[in-house]
């Protein structure tokens, strides 16, 4: 990992020297009321040289739990580095956060427009600012997300295959699952990868929700990574992960065969055998009851918590093709 030289940091026309801290903003746009809408960037620098770490959340405005994780990192002073620099952007998509909406007002998903354009759509312009003003200074990034549309994600780190450095850091983070997933075209993670900035992408919980266990997993994972990089202040204790991470190399979405009222009985993080009952779909009139069964043995790492579903809706995300040594615990993690 590249090591930052002990010199000034210049972002958005502001200069932050070693040992200094700053809160700077960039203007996203003016509202129709002519009020400006700004994105705060919290920067903490040690006098000692070291890596520059970026911590982000809120790329989707409805993913509140990710914002809460970064908020706690800042509120507890975890972002004050022993060496190097930590840059936090708790809410990248301020528009979506204000409106409690996943998307930008132009209907675009910010996580599908990177690296953006200075003259493009509103979402594209924000992506462009992030990539041109912040990312050139960054050595490593952690981005915090949640599941969408009532789908609750088990706490997991998503990385691409065959990335030894990221695999090492993912294990150090200590989430229950490490999920190998390809970079999606025009996503923030993909743009950072192309810019030479490795990223751990955390997923956990669901939209419009703050879950204590997910929050604690995210905050503790960030502390472990900072400790490993020599950046965590010595006043903070670092706990060991409760379990060894399960590596998910392949998976499938189980989709509803029928519309109706849905109740999951399989717990998130649990290991199931083929044909185990995972939940049931009923109608309001007591004349229909369909049992949803596991198509294969594996771990349940996403559950749809919506009480009403439609045919074709994704209701469970289940791992496939686990190696024998990974199946060490068939109980809930």
13 vs 26, 115, 195, 229, CA distance in Å?
Answer: 10, 21, 21, 28
**Residue 322 confidence (pLDDT):** 61
Name the CATH architecture for the domain at 251-326: Beta Barrel (2.40)
Q: How far is residue 314's CA from residue 295's CA, in Å, rounded to a whole number?
A: 14
Contacts (Cβ under 8 Å, ≥6 apart) of 158: 179, 180, 181, 189, 200, 201, 202, 203
**Residue 32 confidence (pLDDT):** 74
Q: How far is residue 43's CA from residue 275's CA, in Å, rounded to a whole number?
A: 51
Q: How far is residue 67's CA from residue 89's CA, in Å, rounded to a whole number?
A: 9
Q: How far is residue 306's CA from residue 284's CA, in Å, rounded to a whole number?
A: 15
Residue 24, number of CB atoms within 10 A of its CB: 17
Contact 313, 304 (CB under 8 A): yes
Predicted confidence pLDDT, tens digits, the chain (333 residues): 444 445 899 999 999 999 999 999 988 877 777 778 899 999 999 999 999 999 999 999 999 999 999 999 999 999 999 999 999 999 999 999 999 999 998 899 999 999 999 999 999 999 999 999 999 999 999 999 999 889 999 999 999 998 999 999 999 999 999 999 999 999 999 999 999 999 999 999 999 999 999 999 999 999 999 999 999 999 999 999 988 999 999 999 999 999 999 999 999 999 999 999 999 999 999 999 999 999 999 999 999 999 999 999 999 999 997 643 454 443 444
**Residue 14 confidence (pLDDT):** 95
**Residue 4 confidence (pLDDT):** 43
**Residue 310 confidence (pLDDT):** 98
Question: What does the chain come to in residues?
Answer: 333
Same fold, 9-228 and 251-326: no
The domain segmentation of the chain, as residue ranges, is 9-228, 251-326
pTM score, two decimals?
Answer: 0.94
**Residue 85 confidence (pLDDT):** 98
Contacts (Cβ under 8 Å, ≥6 apart) of 278: 254, 264, 265, 266, 272, 292, 293, 294, 300, 316
**Residue 325 confidence (pLDDT):** 42
| Fold of the domain spanning 9-228 | Aminopeptidase (3.40.630)
**Residue 199 confidence (pLDDT):** 98
Token pair for residue 320?
């496939």
How far does the chain reach from its first CA to its final CA, in angstroms?
Answer: 32
């Amino acid at each position: 990992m590249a090591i930052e030289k002990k010199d000034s940091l210049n972002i958005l026309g502001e200069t932050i020297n070693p040992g200094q801290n700053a809160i700077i903003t960039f203007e996203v746009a003016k509202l129709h009321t002519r009020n400006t809408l700004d994105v705060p960037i919290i920067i903490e620098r040690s006098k000692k040289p070291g890596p520059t770490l970026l911590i982000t959340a809120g790329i989707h405005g409805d993913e509140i739990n990710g914002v809460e994780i970064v908020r706690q990192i800042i509120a507890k002073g975890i972002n004050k580095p022993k060496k190097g620099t930590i840059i936090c952007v708790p809410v990248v998509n301020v528009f979506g956060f204000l409106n409690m909406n996943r998307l930008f007002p132009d209907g675009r998903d910010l996580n599908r427009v990177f690296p953006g354009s200075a003259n493009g759509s509103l979402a594209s312009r924000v992506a462009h600012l992030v990539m041109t003003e912040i990312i050139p200074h960054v050595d490593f990034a952690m981005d915090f997300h949640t599941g969408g549309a009532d789908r609750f994600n088990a706490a997991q780190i998503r990385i691409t295959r065959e990335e030894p450095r990221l695999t090492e850091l993912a294990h150090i983070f200590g989430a229950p699952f490490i999920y190998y997933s390809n970079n999606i075209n025009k996503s923030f993670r993909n743009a950072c990868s192309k810019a030479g900035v490795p990223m751990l992408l955390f997923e956990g919980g669901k939209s419009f929700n703050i879950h204590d266990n997910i929050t604690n997993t995210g905050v503790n994972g960030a502390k472990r990574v900072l400790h490993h990089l020599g950046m965590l202040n010595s006043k903070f204790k670092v706990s060991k992960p409760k379990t060894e991470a399960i590596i998910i190399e392949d998976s499938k979405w189980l989709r509803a065969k029928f519309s109706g009222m849905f109740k999951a009985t399989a717990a998130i993080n649990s290991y199931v055998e083929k044909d185990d009952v995972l939940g049931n779909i009923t109608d309001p009139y007591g004349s229909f009851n369909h049992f949803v069964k596991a198509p294969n043995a594996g771990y349940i790492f996403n559950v749809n918590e919506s009480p009403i579903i439609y045919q074709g809706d994704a209701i469970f995300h289940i791992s496939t093709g686990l190696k024998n040594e990974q199946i060490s615990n068939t109980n809930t993690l």
